[in-house]
Amino acid sequence: MALTEERKAALLAYCKLAELADDPEVAALIPAFYEAAVGYMDGAGVAEPQEGTSRRAQYDLCVNAMVLDNWEHRDLKEPASQVGENVVFRRMLNQLKLTEVSNLDTEG
């Protein structure tokens, strides 16, 4: 899924980076983090749900959480064992994986 301007604006707002949209670091990293998050979801077996469904809202929140986590930890210097896992993200991702139905998302 390509990062549209509308989706980018929503993502920047979620990350509280809207005022920094023109910052070179934000402009370079947020799209890369977004593509990595979408790729992660695909690799986890979660296809992009149809727009306007509750699954799509969950999917977008998972992608947002991954992007924000990557942004906040881009300069991580502490050992990985000290970084806590986002439990809410994990639960939402598991829910999406367990309810994945290939191309049958018709809720709306």
The per-residue pLDDT for range 12-41, each reduced to its tens digit, is 999 999 999 999 999 999 999 999 999 999
C-alpha pair distances (Å), 50 with each of 3, 78, 92 = 16, 38, 17
Q: What is the pLDDT of the chain when averaged over all its residues? A: 86
Residue 83 burial (10 A CB sphere; 0-12, 13-18, 19+): exposed
Q: Provide the whole-model pTM.
A: 0.77
**11: Cβ contacts below 8 Å, ≥ 6 apart:** 3, 30, 34, 63, 64, 67
